A and B are shown apart, each in its own frame.
Chain A
């Protein structure tokens, strides 16, 4: 693909600036993409896709929804490139779009579930989780990986995703951004357009619920806070 080849040609000076000044790096890429440079836009995707997919997967719980969400995120990014200001934090902007896309997807999924009479959101989520986990079975991965380890991890993921599913949307977003994406409380507040004190409260509540849920799942009979 020509665009991909062009993106590979892109490497030299920009790669060195990524670590030094991510903001400048993305401002430059956005300016070039805005001018119609497909390679620059592809470079943006290359630099951020793992982050976007991981967030979407943690928010939505399965691979297929995460892929659809990531595609939608980049289409929105392209659509709203003109709204991005060079002084803005690109990653924060991208996280915000990702969280919004995931919320929309979850809402749509809830609507489809209730309309189709499949059952509660939790049941649907569990069903999708099973699909996702089947896709992640050891047979699908490279043969040299440890099958037992993969199975354990898949089970852990399944448990965690079902635990995350019990959280309210805002609490889940705050927890994913803080505990799994590693943003600070203030950064999470900026992404969610909220106040740090609100984010702290959401994170506290989410951690407490997760602890209880995980303790039950692991049959440890954990104490409640």
Chain B
């Protein structure tokens, strides 16, 4: 095996002399080199001598580090601890827990948490502000919920009989549950036929007036009905009702959402479930 060069061995010698080389392989190489190289062997002896000198000089403490010296240290420490005890409570777990609040790591974590909370609060504030602006643009008032108007109108045709018009007005509430009611709404429901001349009737139902109307539940009614109010029902189509109200054709729901801005109205037409059922099978 090829022997190491002297320059390389010299780098290893400070560790080799105390057995601190990381690998046994390197140790073997250095030992083999030292067996043949007088110069490096002399250098290794110098390291040994230096190490021996260090240990001889500082390996033992000077004689004035006697028992009195150590007793003095203990006395001072215990006196200091006693003095601290008179000022502070003993290191109970509670005190330690309190003291740990001033731990730099805890302070860092707390500051990060506070920063996150501040960012979240700012984001929420910004979000609420944007919502208020939108509400202001649609309702004319910023930050105050506008009155909600739910207008459900049903158009029926066929026998020409008039169905009492349904109109519902909801007072807006600021509760979270009634987010939809915070927007002015006007729902109109229209029962329609298949395209001939229609005897279109609009009806308005005042919830205060308990008119005897046999009706089917409007699918949208639960989402817009305020708590405590009774649910309106609209006459079912396709047959005669018990109170004489008859609709000749399946209903088509027409939902109009009237915003506070009189110029903006959202109209949604959808066939009711009965309309689907009335379609002839093909």
What is A's interface to B at a CB cutoff of 8 Å?
Answer: 1, 3-4, 34, 36, 38, 41-42, 45-46, 49-50, 53-54, 57-58, 63, 66-67, 70-71, 74-75, 78-79, 81-82, 132, 135-136, 140-142, 145, 150, 153-154, 156-157, 159-161, 164, 175, 178-180, 185, 196-197, 200, 203-205, 207-208, 210-211, 214-215, 218, 222-223, 225
Q: Are the CB atoms of A211 and B42 closer together than 8 Å?
A: no
Q: Are the CB atoms of B10 and A1 closer together than 8 Å?
A: no
Select B51's contact among A3, A79, A159, A179, beta carbons within 8 Å: A179
Known contacts A78-B81, A81-B91, A214-B53; A179/B73 CB under 8 A: no
Residues of chain B with a CB closer than 8 A to A70's CB: 73
Select A211's contact among B50, B55, B73, beta carbons within 8 Å: B50
B65 at the interface (CB under 8 A from A): yes
* Secondary structure class of chain B's binding surface, majority of residues: helix
1/0 per position for B90-107, CB-CB distance to A under 8 A? 110100100000000000
B75 at the interface (CB under 8 A from A): yes
Residues of chain A with a CB closer than 8 A to B274's CB: none
Residues of chain B with a CB closer than 8 A to A4's CB: 74
Residues of chain A with a CB closer than 8 A to B20's CB: 178, 185, 200, 203-204
- Of all chain A residues, the one with the shortest Cβ separation from B97 is A82
Q: Are the CB atoms of A223 and B43 closer together than 8 Å?
A: yes
Q: Are the CB atoms of A160 and B46 closer together than 8 Å?
A: no
Q: Are the CB atoms of B54 and A180 closer together than 8 Å?
A: yes
Q: Are the CB atoms of A36 and B90 closer together than 8 Å?
A: yes
Residues of chain B with a CB closer than 8 A to A145's CB: 63
Q: Are the CB atoms of A71 and B47 closer together than 8 Å?
A: no
- Name 15 A/B residue pairs within 8 A (Cβ), A-sorted: A1-B75, A1-B78, A49-B74, A50-B70, A67-B69, A82-B96, A141-B63, A142-B63, A178-B18, A180-B55, A200-B22, A203-B18, A207-B47, A214-B54, A222-B46
1/0 per position for B230-271, CB-CB distance to A under 8 A? 000000000000000000000000000000000000000000
B64 at the interface (CB under 8 A from A): yes
Known contacts A58-B58, A208-B14, A214-B50; A150/B63 CB under 8 A: yes
CB-based closest 5 A-B pairs: A160-B57, A211-B50, A156-B57, A207-B14, A204-B14
B80 at the interface (CB under 8 A from A): yes
Q: Are the CB atoms of A223 and B42 closer together than 8 Å?
A: yes
Q: Are the CB atoms of A157 and B62 closer together than 8 Å?
A: yes
What is B's interface to A at a CB cutoff of 8 Å?
Answer: 10-11, 13-15, 17-18, 20, 22, 42-43, 46-47, 50-51, 53-59, 61-65, 69-70, 72-78, 80-81, 90-91, 93, 96
A54 vs B58: C-alpha distance in the bound complex, in angstroms?
Answer: 9
A157 vs B42: C-alpha distance in the bound complex, in angstroms?
Answer: 25
Q: Are the CB atoms of A135 and B64 closer together than 8 Å?
A: yes
Known contacts A49-B70, A178-B18; A215/B91 CB under 8 A: no
Q: How far is the CB of A56 from chain B (nearest CB, A)?
A: 10
- Of all chain B residues, the one with the shortest Cβ separation from A184 is B20
Residues of chain B with a CB closer than 8 A to A34's CB: 91
A136 vs B66: C-alpha distance in the bound complex, in angstroms?
Answer: 11
Q: Are the CB atoms of A203 and B15 closer together than 8 Å?
A: yes
A178 vs B63: C-alpha distance in the bound complex, in angstroms?
Answer: 23
Q: Are the CB atoms of A75 and B81 closer together than 8 Å?
A: yes
Residues of chain A with a CB closer than 8 A to B13's CB: 225
- Of all chain A residues, the one with the shortest Cβ separation from B96 is A82
Q: How far is the CB of B41 from chain A (nearest CB, A)?
A: 12
A45 vs B74: C-alpha distance in the bound complex, in angstroms?
Answer: 7
Residues of chain B with a CB closer than 8 A to A66's CB: 65
Q: Are the CB atoms of A38 and B78 closer together than 8 Å?
A: yes
Apart from A50-B70, A179-B18, list 14 A-B contacts with CB within 8 A.
A4-B74, A42-B78, A67-B73, A81-B91, A82-B91, A136-B62, A150-B63, A157-B58, A178-B20, A197-B22, A203-B18, A207-B18, A214-B54, A225-B14
